[in-house]
Amino acid sequence: MFKKRSILIFLLFILLISPSLSGIVNLNSKKDEEPKEISLILKTQSGDYWKNVRMGAEVAAKEFNVKLDFTYCSDETDITGQIALVNAAIERKVDALILAPSDYKGLVDVTEKAIFKKIPVIVIDSKLNTNKTSSYIATDNVKAGEMAGEKLVSLSGINSRIAIINFVQGSSNNKDREEGLKPIISKYPQMKVVYNNYILPDSESAFEITKKLVLGDDKVNTIVALNYISSIGAAQAINEMGLAGKVNIITFDNTTEEIEFLEKGVIQATITQRPFGMGYLAVKYSVLNLQGKKIPKYVDTGLVVIDKANMYLPENQKILFPFTQ
């Protein structure tokens, strides 16, 4: 009799607490929510710089369990194409947008449209003329220009005839790099900038203008190429003419071609950014932002001047080859 009563009491206890147990079971067995969708829109996919940005973003997407939708234009000057990509992301109602804008002003309206539609936007690589974005993650390009100028002075001396080969007129990066570079050069009246202009968006244009500037009446002996495409073209020209070490070249970024020319002594120094970290942080902060957590309004991803003397240091190898670390 006592045993039966004990069983009845136990069953009654189970019935009384069963709603709580049911809640616990449902909570633990609840399926994970669908991963958030983040759209990453770059200027282009060509070149190791953008590949490293994407690689960093993909590592973060896997770590933070988000779906990364990756799109890009055929080249960095296709502003209309990039606007269309942003509009497409808005139509898909993505949860967040990461944008490397091709133009300082041209991408403003469509970006602010996304923000109005409750899609938070993080801008990377290049400035955009709006204060409505959630964060800006990039290199300090004015500082990059200053570092290029200081390296130029240390390498070439004060009697240089300098060519500044620029790229994509609407990009804020080029403007900022010039803004940092020119005051350094202007400290030395003997230095003469004999060429400062924008070229077509291909390395062949930089190749041709470099040959003309070095072999023609301008007699250029120092070249500063302000992005990786113009850097490759200039280095190819100097290498083909057999003038490695006679004409100094200071470049930007760390493409495979640039690293090879650095090892051969064709390029004397390259101002290297951290694109892998840029992509990684953009996805990380997008996720934190979607979770309602505070993120920094601006992140400087840092710079390193790499030359043949320091390129083999372990810390610089990690910057040059982030995908192998």
Query: So what's the pLDDT on residue 20?
Result: 35
The H or E element that residue 176 is part of is helix 172-186
pLDDT tens digits, the chain, 325 residues: what are they? 444 444 444 444 443 334 333 333 332 323 457 899 999 999 998 878 899 999 999 999 999 999 999 999 988 889 999 999 999 999 999 999 999 999 999 999 999 999 999 999 999 999 999 999 999 999 999 999 999 999 999 998 777 999 999 887 767 888 999 999 999 999 998 899 999 998 887 899 999 999 999 999 999 999 999 998 899 999 999 999 999 999 999 999 989 999 999 999 999 999 999 999 999 999 999 999 999 999 999 999 999 999 999 999 999 998 888 754 4
Q: Are residues 267 and 149 in the same domain?
A: yes
Biggest CA pair distance of the chain: 115
Domain residues for the domain of 119 are: 37-139+274-303
Q: Are residues 158 and 52 in the same domain?
A: no
Q: Are residues 154 and 259 in the same domain?
A: yes
Question: Cα–Cα distance between 234 and 165 in angstroms, integer?
Answer: 9
Q: Are residues 284 and 251 in the same domain?
A: no
Q: Are residues 73 and 222 in the same domain?
A: no
Q: Give residue 14's identity as a one-letter amino acid code.
A: I
- For the chain, the first-to-last Cα distance in angstroms comes to 72
Output the pTM of the full model.
Answer: 0.83
50 within a domain of the structure (yes/no):
yes
Query: So what's the pLDDT on residue 113?
Result: 98
How many domains, the chain?
2
The CATH code of the domain that includes 231 is 3.40.50.2300
Q: Which of 35, 98, 31 is nearest to 63 (CA)?
A: 35
Q: Are residues 232 and 185 in the same domain?
A: yes
154 within a domain of the structure (yes/no):
yes
Q: Are residues 106 and 190 in the same domain?
A: no
- φ/ψ (deg, to 5) at 270: -135, 135
Q: Are residues 161 and 266 in the same domain?
A: yes
Domain boundary among 233, 251, 272: 272
182 within a domain of the structure (yes/no):
yes
218 within a domain of the structure (yes/no):
yes
Q: Are residues 190 and 208 in the same domain?
A: yes
CA 295, 98, 31: angle at the middle one, nearest 5? 75
320 within a domain of the structure (yes/no):
no
Q: Are residues 170 and 261 in the same domain?
A: yes
Radius of gyration of the CA atoms of the chain, in A:
26
10 within a domain of the structure (yes/no):
no
Query: So what's the pLDDT on residue 9?
Result: 41
Note the pLDDT tens digit of each residue in 163-202.
999 887 767 888 999 999 999 999 998 899 999 998 887 8
286 within a domain of the structure (yes/no):
yes
Query: So what's the pLDDT on residue 28?
Result: 30
Residue with tokens 């072999």: 215
Q: How many CB atoms lie within 10 A of CB 136?
A: 19
310 within a domain of the structure (yes/no):
no
Q: Are residues 156 and 253 in the same domain?
A: yes
Q: Are residues 81 and 153 in the same domain?
A: no
Query: So what's the pLDDT on residue 32?
Result: 56
